[in-house]
Structure 1
Amino acid sequence: MFLQTIKEEQATGRVAEIYERQKAQLGFVMEAAKCFTARPDLLPIYTDFSDNVRASFSLGLREWRLITLIAAKHIPSTYCSHVYSKQLIEDLGSKEAVLAVQRDFRKAGLSDKDVEMLAYAEAIAQDASRIAQADIDRLRSVGFSDQQICDIALCAAFRCYVSRFFDAVGAGTEAAFIDNDVEFRSTMTVGRPV
């Protein structure tokens, strides 16, 4: 971490609550949380926003993770790529399936609906100004509602914001998210080296 942040033993109030919740879930506090405490008022704001967006997300957790993985690849964010690829192993059934999505989601055996969703997420991460009505029409043609399209855009754009913030302040990938498999680790390292 490049910035001075609130250490676990120094945390009070909402920051302490958020840290304790993460420790209960993961066994540690992520640098992705700590980095917001260089300005202490930000962590509760970020946490509340993130929790509310995810609670109302009209697609499943698998879709959130897929969108995030593809956005992270194009940002590029090694941190988010490693975190979400580890979570996707269970969703997709194997490391090989996650590797296939990371390498080329269009050829990974996903449904047409998944491919269109990820193509939209990819376009958002690369250059959202190039998105046109035809892109939205394609999403509708495979069955996405406008609310779901909004949520795909929000998830991908949110990842662009937080991933760039994490890199800008030096948040590093925790060992728990770095896979022992050399090929998997190398493929998920899309930006800053681990």
Structure 2
Amino acid sequence: MFIQTIDDAAATGEIARIYAEEKAALGFVMEGTRCWTARPDLLPLVDHLLNTARTDFSLGLRAWRLITLIAARHIPSTYCSHVYARGLVADLGSKEQVLAIHRDFRNAGLSDRDVAMLAYAEQVAVDASRITQADIDALRAVGFSDRNIADIAFCAAFRCFMSRYFDATGATPEPFFFDEDPGFRAAMTVGKPI
């Protein structure tokens, strides 16, 4: 990490609570969490926003992870690619499927709905200024509501914000998230080397 953050022993109040919850879930505090504590007032806000958005996400955790994987590829964010690929392997049943989606989601056997969702998320991550009414109409044509569309936009845009902050502060993915397969690890290393 490039900046000084609050270590476990010095954590108090909301930061201590967030650290404790993450340790209970993962066994450690992620650098992606710790990096916010150079500004201690920000971590509770970011944590609340992330947890609220993900909990109330109208398309479910699988879609959240898919959108994040595609956005992370284009940001590019090695950290987020590794973290979310790990969850997607469980969601989709194989590393091969995750790799196929990562390489070319348009030709990975996904539904038309998933492809439309990921194409929109990709455009948000690459250049949201080029999104037009036609892009929104295409999402509606495959059954997405305006709430769904807002959620896709939020998820992709939020990932851009989070991932860029991680890289800017020097947060790096923990070895816990690295797959044992060197080819899979290399594919998920889309930005900073690990």
Name the aligned partner's letter for residue 64 of structure 2.
Answer: W
* Alignment partner, residue 2 of structure 1: 2
3-state SS of paired residue (1:6): coil
Runs of 4+ in structure 1 over 4 Å off: none
The offset of 1:50, in angstroms, is: 0.9
Between stretches 51-60 and 99-108, larger displacement belongs to 51-60
CA distance in 1, matches of 2:26, 2:42: 21
3-state SS of paired residue (1:109): coil
CA distance in 2, matches of 1:101, 1:54: 21
Percent of residue pairs identical? 66
* Alignment partner, residue 170 of structure 1: 170
1:130-145 to structure 2, matched below 5 A, reads 130-145=130-145
1:20-169 to structure 2, matched below 5 A, reads 20-169=20-169
Name the aligned partner's letter for residue 158 of structure 1.
Answer: F
The offset of 1:54, in angstroms, is: 1.3
3-state SS of paired residue (1:28): coil
The offset of 1:26, in angstroms, is: 0.4
CA distance in 2, matches of 1:104, 1:54: 25
3-state SS of paired residue (1:185): helix
After superposition, the C-alpha distances for 1:14-42 in whole angstroms (9 at most, x for unaligned) are 00000000000000000011000001111
* Alignment partner, residue 180 of structure 2: 180
**TM-score, length basis structure 1:** 0.99
CA distance in 1, matches of 2:42, 2:95: 35
**TM-score, length basis structure 2:** 0.99
Between stretches 50-59 and 178-187, larger displacement belongs to 50-59
After superposition, the C-alpha distances for 1:156-177 in whole angstroms (9 at most, x for unaligned) are 0000000000000000010000
The offset of 1:180, in angstroms, is: 1.2
The offset of 1:53, in angstroms, is: 1.1
After superposition, the C-alpha distances for 1:59-89 in whole angstroms (9 at most, x for unaligned) are 1100000000000000000000000001000
Structure 1: runs of 5 or more not aligned: none
